[in-house]
Amino acid sequence: MTGVFSNLQAALAGNGFDEVPPSEQLEQSCDVAAMNKLNADKVIAYTFADPVYSSQRIDAPGAVFRKNEEWYRLEYHCQTEKDHRTVVSFDWKVGERVPRSQWDKYYLYP
């Protein structure tokens, strides 16, 4: 399933991708993949729990995504190629909507 997100390199181009640490490269690529899969405008990998990183994989059990000005819990597992630019697998599970009354607590915004 190589090249799951053909426009990923275009999305990352010119944003200083090569200057950030590998774990951040991995997270950025997987967050963009999540946004594409979920038709979301924002994904945060660490809102409810810290992600677990390996050299080419991130497991984000406490992520969230924003869609239509609402936030939803998300769990995702993502693997990239060695350069972190190509996502080769992405599995996810959407959770419940995060109530607006909790947004300030978790630094979420409309």
CATH assignment of 19-102, among 3.40.1280.10, 3.30.70.20, 3.10.450.630, 3.40.50.2030: 3.10.450.630
pLDDT in tens, the chain (110 residues): 334 444 454 455 556 777 777 888 899 999 999 999 999 999 999 999 999 999 999 999 999 999 999 999 999 999 999 988 899 999 999 999 999 999 999 999 99
pLDDT at 14: 55
3-class DSSP assignment, residue 58: strand
pTM of this prediction? Answer: 0.82
Q: Quick check: 8 and 78 in contact, CB under 8 A?
A: no
Beta strands in the chain (DSSP E): 42-44, 52-53, 57-67, 70-80, 87-97
